[in-house]
Structure 1
Amino acid sequence: MPLYSGLSVTRLHLMHLRNIVLLLLIPFVLLPRAMAASDPAGVNPSQAVASAHTQGKQEEQEKPGEEAEQQASYAALANILDDENSRADLIQQLRAAADGKQSDVTPQLAPGSDSQDDPPTLLDSITGVTRHYSGVVSNKLAVLHNTLTHAPQHRFNQGVFLQALSRFALLSGATFAFYFAARLVIAPLLRRVGHWGRKTHERYKSGVKAVLVLLGAFAAELGLLLAAVMVGQLLGQYLSDGSRVLARQQALFLNAFALMEFFKLLLRMIFCPGYPEIRRFPIGDQGARYWNNRLSLVSGFIGYSSMVVVPIIANQTSLQIAAVVNFMLMLGTTLYILLLIVRNKRVLQQELERLANRSLAFFSVFIRAFSLVWHWLAITYFVVLFFLTQFDPGNSLKFMVTATVKSLMMISIGALLSGLLTRWISRHISLSADMRRNYPQLQQRINVYVSGGLKICRILVVCSVILMLLDAWHLFDLGHWLTDDVGARMVDALLRIAIIMFFSVLGWTLLASLIENRLATDAHGRPQPSARTRTLLTLFRNALSVIISTITIMIILSEIGVNIAPLLAGAGALGLAVSFGSQTLVKDVITGVFIQFENGMNTGDLVTIGDVTGVVERMTIRSVGVRQDTGAYHIIPYSSITTFANFVRGIGSFVANYDVSRNENIDKVNTILREAVSELMQKPDIGPLVIGEPNFGGVVGLTNQAFTVRVSFTTQALKQWTVRFALDGLVKNHFEAAGIKPPYQAVQVINNSDAPDADPSSAAGSHILPSS
């Protein structure tokens, strides 16, 4: 080959020998990393073999382990050769070693720096996960194969076996007898306490005492379980008689007894077959007994067979026989459970639907979703349990039972907390009458804030339960995530956001309440704010809400890692562009500000703006809303207002002109007019509305048929029409009583009968036609 041209044969053989040695040393260098990557957390396959042998067979147990390590090293080398980048690095390093160049770089399982710069694609991630778990499964199968083929046989001693069996039966029988007898003793007490909790719940409509009763029953039964374990340990020390084999078998039983009976205790707290008074779930007595008995039977059979029977058979006979027994027991149990699931699929789904219909809306969503997939989850659970118990019966069952117990406890606690939060969300906080009068919107705001905060807490509870469930099943390392930089930063950001929101809401509530207190009706004699003050305070409250919301959003964005500097710069540029494109809007705002400071108009004023006359109903920073007496509502921008009239500025006035016939006496007319005005001023509902004395102008107009008299009034603001309408009625009555007539229009018809060409039939007299 060209690579080896010019080298001697001896040097060529030496290089080949060195390359072969490097290839053989690479797996042993990478062995710890490969074993760490292939060993899943929480499962130790070697413990199953170690637990099945006695302490005198340690050397025989090391042989399968060495072969497993060799196979793992071969798998690690295969992983290096399977990856293109790591394979290229390995070839390059080997060629450098062949050329006599020294390299400090050790061949690594991970790709080189070039591949680390490029982010992995989705296909690469899926391939890596598939390769990882396929390697885990292959290693597990290899360990199981080596255990079955190379496990030593044990000599069966019938006498020792019968002696151990008798003591084991005595220990288990005494432990179970003590535990069941203690449960029978406290059964009446639990029923009585449960009946008290049920009556209290029905009387006060509160589930707190019923939950406390359930927790008390759980604590009582847990105490009995601990007492039974202690009795079993004391009796086991007496029965073991110093034998390590007997002590180990008794320890296996006590561990299985504590774990499985605790799991059954949780089932009893869920279904409460013997204590319907304590049961918190709407399940009938027959259904509760059905599911509790079957689940307890199945769990106890799986637990005691995998954790006690199979290890004892492996210790007394061989691992092959123990594996066959374990396979047959688990296969039969799994088939029975699958048949039980398929048979009750429809019934349990209907029961869950009924439970969802009776539950709150928040819980009904989860219950309906669970009713659709519960059978798939149960089938997956027991199939996985079947396969795991074939690799490592004791440890895998402990892992599954522990994860199940944690899941049940987390779900129960999460459901309890969510239920309490849901009950509190539906309640309302009521303030005193004085507080509601002085701060009209405070109660509503507090209820909105409390309800929103409790809803956020409920969401956090659900998310926490989900994370803890994933951690319990080793699908997510919650502890590592919380101590990691990403998790710590996320938790810190959430806490900062919560603090920012709290102080923002608190500041807005305090400021808005102070403004509303200034605007509220005061029953203690405090003077009411003017219309200008009300308008300015309302505008200030609106501007304050916009400012606080904007600042809060900006701070939150900065806390979650968003750079707000470009946002601020973009907002400035956008504001400049908008200001050029919306000059009318800017003019509206500026004009509105000056109108407010000049106190030109306020809400409730009667104004005339252009050809629109009406009452001001709403004033914003850009426009004014005017309601006409016809009901029409006009929105008038401030920039279109050049002049306007306000009828509510201090006083009102009007001038009343009355026309009478030219034939009437002027003095008489003035006298009667003064009498009418005098009577008007004496009316209690009209007189106080007039400011000062009326001004009589005398005769102000004269025509061929009439003359005009005048009187003028100064009144309170917006009261001029009230006074004018009352005055017109009195003047009419007084003029009619005095015989003063209104002007008439005279039309004279001339008789032309004396004319030579006149028609005699058309001759007529002269008539005066009145005209009003």
Structure 2
Amino acid sequence: MTTQLPFSDEPPECVNESGSWCQYVFNVTHNEWLAASAHWLVAKPLRILMILVIAFLIRYLARRVIDRLTRATGERTPTLLRPLKERAPQALGVLVSERRAQRARTIGSVLKSIVSFVVFGLAFILILGELGLNLGPIVASAGIVGIALGFGAQNLVKDFLSGMFMMLEDQYGVGDVVDVGEASGTVEAVGLRVTTLRDVNGTVWYVRNGEILRVGNSSQGFAVAVVDLPVAHGTDVAEATEILDRVVREATDAKPMSDDVLEPPEILGVEKVAAEGITLRATVKVRPGRQWATQRALRAKLMAAFEDAGIQAPLTRLLPPPQGA
């Protein structure tokens, strides 16, 4: 009677498979266990390593392409932004380049994140397949976890999507003067989640993109400088209007204001009649962002011209006469 040994002296059957890893390992090591386990010890690790190498290579090449498309050189618009609509006013000067560069960097950052997520996600699924795991329950669990995270982080997703659409549509950018409801001021930075504003008092506001329901942009296309001059009741309106017309046209035709003026001024005349006085109005279409400087300059010239002509402001008529006069 013979006893069967726990380890057989016969080589594994896979050794006879021509070109297999089992045959190769057995010929090199003459070890039956290593030869039988060659598929797990050599073949699968090499496949997994190849998957990772290919994934890193694809990610590297994709990121290089994105960097090339989003690179801004001098005044040149990044290639990625050329098909997209741009509303950057040229009056911003050097801020136009900064605005384009920041917009391109932000969109490029999103594209890089998407590429990394897709490439490494596919690589992870392929590696699990190589390990022989059943992907069905894993995919189902991932879907449930994704839904749960979506509900928990819906505000973050809302901010992200709003910021993405805002970037693509170029609703506003660095250097624009905007009113977003709760805050208004000059845009200092634009991100996918938060927009940074600085108001006239120097306060910095951080506004979540998902909370912005409307945006008033004073820096796109053109702006209108509205100049209202109040005069007292009893003023010769025709004379005041003539002075208003003359001063505004002379000022807008002269340097440096003429560089900002896009069209001849409009003298609208009497805008409002109230108990305290009469308001005269003139409007000038100017480059975006230059309306406030134009208004201040015109208002100063008009006040001096009205004073020289003896045209009184409403307040001088409303003051009571001094006692004993």
* Aligned with 1:740 (options 288, 299, 311): 311
SS of 1:643's partner is coil
* Aligned with 2:255 (options 680, 684, 692): 684
Would the alpha carbon gap of residues 646 and 523 (structure 1) be closer, same or farther in structure 2, given more than 3 Å must change?
closer
* Aligned with 1:722 (options 274, 293, 311): 293
- Are residues 1:668 and 2:239 paired? yes
Q: Is the 8 A contact 1:504 1:552 kept in 2?
A: yes
Once residues 265 and 306 of structure 2 are traced to their aligned partners in structure 1, the CA distance between those partners, rounded to angstroms, is 19
Report the alpha carbon displacement of residue 537 of structure 1 after superposing the two structures with TM.
4.4
Q: Percent identity?
A: 22
Spell out, residue by residue over 1:353-372, the C-alpha distance to the aligned partner (whole angstroms, 9 max, x if none): xxxxxxxxxxxxxxxxxxxx
Once residues 56 and 233 of structure 2 are traced to their aligned partners in structure 1, the CA distance between those partners, rounded to angstroms, is 82
Q: Is the 8 A contact 1:554 1:564 kept in 2?
A: no
Report the alpha carbon displacement of residue 724 of structure 1 after superposing the two structures with TM.
0.7
Spell out, residue by residue over 1:603-658, the C-alpha distance to the aligned partner (whole angstroms, 9 max, x if none): 44221111200233444444433333444333323332233311123221132121
Tell me which residue corresponds to 1:504.
59
- Are residues 1:543 and 2:114 paired? no
* Aligned with 2:74 (options 491, 499, 521): 521
Tell me which residue corresponds to 2:22.
none
Report the alpha carbon displacement of residue 568 of structure 1 after superposing the two structures with TM.
3.8
Superposition map of 1:121-136 within 5 A: none
Report the alpha carbon displacement of residue 505 of structure 1 after superposing the two structures with TM.
0.8
Once residues 300 and 87 of structure 2 are traced to their aligned partners in structure 1, the CA distance between those partners, rounded to angstroms, is 34
- Are residues 1:607 and 2:174 paired? no
- Are residues 1:105 and 2:3 paired? yes
Spell out, residue by residue over 1:714-762, the C-alpha distance to the aligned partner (whole angstroms, 9 max, x if none): 222111112111112211332333343434134257xxxxxxxxxxxxx
Report the alpha carbon displacement of residue 677 of structure 1 after superposing the two structures with TM.
0.9
Q: Is the 8 A contact 1:625 1:636 kept in 2?
A: yes
Report the alpha carbon displacement of residue 680 of structure 1 after superposing the two structures with TM.
0.9
Once residues 696 and 105 of structure 1 are traced to their aligned partners in structure 2, the CA distance between those partners, rounded to angstroms, is 117
Using the size of structure 1 for normalisation, the TM-score is: 0.32
Name the aligned partner's letter for residue 646 of structure 1: N
Once residues 62 and 29 of structure 2 are traced to their aligned partners in structure 1, the CA distance between those partners, rounded to angstroms, is 37
Report the alpha carbon displacement of residue 595 of structure 1 after superposing the two structures with TM.
4.5
Report the alpha carbon displacement of residue 487 of structure 1 after superposing the two structures with TM.
4.6
Name the aligned partner's letter for residue 747 of structure 1: P
Would the alpha carbon gap of residues 746 and 511 (structure 1) be closer, same or farther in structure 2, given more than 3 Å must change?
closer
Tell me which residue corresponds to 1:303.
none
RMSD between aligned residues = 3.8
Greater percentage in strand: 2
Tell me which residue corresponds to 2:226.
655
Once residues 612 and 575 of structure 1 are traced to their aligned partners in structure 2, the CA distance between those partners, rounded to angstroms, is 34
SS of 1:502's partner is helix
Long gaps (5+) in structure 2: 9-27, 89-98
Report the alpha carbon displacement of residue 499 of structure 1 after superposing the two structures with TM.
4.0
SS of 1:728's partner is helix
Name the aligned partner's letter for residue 3 of structure 2: V
Would the alpha carbon gap of residues 498 and 598 (structure 1) be closer, same or farther in structure 2, given more than 3 Å must change?
closer
Q: Is the 8 A contact 1:660 1:706 kept in 2?
A: yes
Name the aligned partner's letter for residue 505 of structure 1: Y
Would the alpha carbon gap of residues 697 and 514 (structure 1) be closer, same or farther in structure 2, given more than 3 Å must change?
closer
SS of 1:655's partner is strand
Would the alpha carbon gap of residues 497 and 715 (structure 1) be closer, same or farther in structure 2, given more than 3 Å must change?
same
Once residues 634 and 564 of structure 1 are traced to their aligned partners in structure 2, the CA distance between those partners, rounded to angstroms, is 50
Name the aligned partner's letter for residue 320 of structure 2: V
Once residues 553 and 710 of structure 1 are traced to their aligned partners in structure 2, the CA distance between those partners, rounded to angstroms, is 63
Would the alpha carbon gap of residues 715 and 564 (structure 1) be closer, same or farther in structure 2, given more than 3 Å must change?
farther
Report the alpha carbon displacement of residue 671 of structure 1 after superposing the two structures with TM.
2.8
Would the alpha carbon gap of residues 665 and 651 (structure 1) be closer, same or farther in structure 2, given more than 3 Å must change?
same
Would the alpha carbon gap of residues 704 and 491 (structure 1) be closer, same or farther in structure 2, given more than 3 Å must change?
closer
Once residues 266 and 171 of structure 2 are traced to their aligned partners in structure 1, the CA distance between those partners, rounded to angstroms, is 30
Name the aligned partner's letter for residue 507 of structure 1: A
Once residues 165 and 65 of structure 2 are traced to their aligned partners in structure 1, the CA distance between those partners, rounded to angstroms, is 28
Q: Is the 8 A contact 1:593 1:621 kept in 2?
A: yes
Once residues 167 and 62 of structure 2 are traced to their aligned partners in structure 1, the CA distance between those partners, rounded to angstroms, is 26
Superposition map of 1:552-567 within 5 A: 552-557=119-124, 558-559=126-127, 563=133, 565=135, 567=138
Greater percentage in helix: 1
Tell me which residue corresponds to 1:167.
none
Once residues 589 and 543 of structure 1 are traced to their aligned partners in structure 2, the CA distance between those partners, rounded to angstroms, is 10
Name the aligned partner's letter for residue 574 of structure 1: V
Spell out, residue by residue over 1:575-595, the C-alpha distance to the aligned partner (whole angstroms, 9 max, x if none): 111223344344444544555
Q: Which has the larger radius of gyration?
A: 1
Q: Is the 8 A contact 1:531 1:603 kept in 2?
A: no
Once residues 43 and 70 of structure 2 are traced to their aligned partners in structure 1, the CA distance between those partners, rounded to angstroms, is 41
Would the alpha carbon gap of residues 697 and 544 (structure 1) be closer, same or farther in structure 2, given more than 3 Å must change?
closer
Tell me which residue corresponds to 1:247.
none
Number of residues of Structure 1 aligned to a counterpart in Structure 2: 277
Once residues 741 and 653 of structure 1 are traced to their aligned partners in structure 2, the CA distance between those partners, rounded to angstroms, is 27
Report the alpha carbon displacement of residue 663 of structure 1 after superposing the two structures with TM.
5.4
Spell out, residue by residue over 1:45-90, the C-alpha distance to the aligned partner (whole angstroms, 9 max, x if none): xxxxxxxxxxxxxxxxxxxxxxxxxxxxxxxxxxxxxxxxxxxxxx
Superposition map of 1:156-175 within 5 A: none
Would the alpha carbon gap of residues 698 and 628 (structure 1) be closer, same or farther in structure 2, given more than 3 Å must change?
closer
Name the aligned partner's letter for residue 520 of structure 1: T
Name the aligned partner's letter for residue 580 of structure 1: F
Once residues 573 and 507 of structure 1 are traced to their aligned partners in structure 2, the CA distance between those partners, rounded to angstroms, is 30
SS of 2:267's partner is strand
Tell me which residue corresponds to 1:320.
none
Tell me which residue corresponds to 2:25.
none
Once residues 615 and 585 of structure 1 are traced to their aligned partners in structure 2, the CA distance between those partners, rounded to angstroms, is 24
Long gaps (5+) in structure 1: 1-102, 113-478, 750-764, 768-772
Name the aligned partner's letter for residue 105 of structure 1: T
Once residues 177 and 158 of structure 2 are traced to their aligned partners in structure 1, the CA distance between those partners, rounded to angstroms, is 24
Once residues 119 and 273 of structure 2 are traced to their aligned partners in structure 1, the CA distance between those partners, rounded to angstroms, is 74
Once residues 198 and 59 of structure 2 are traced to their aligned partners in structure 1, the CA distance between those partners, rounded to angstroms, is 37
**Aligned structure 1 segments of 4 or more residues deviating by more than 6 angstroms:** none
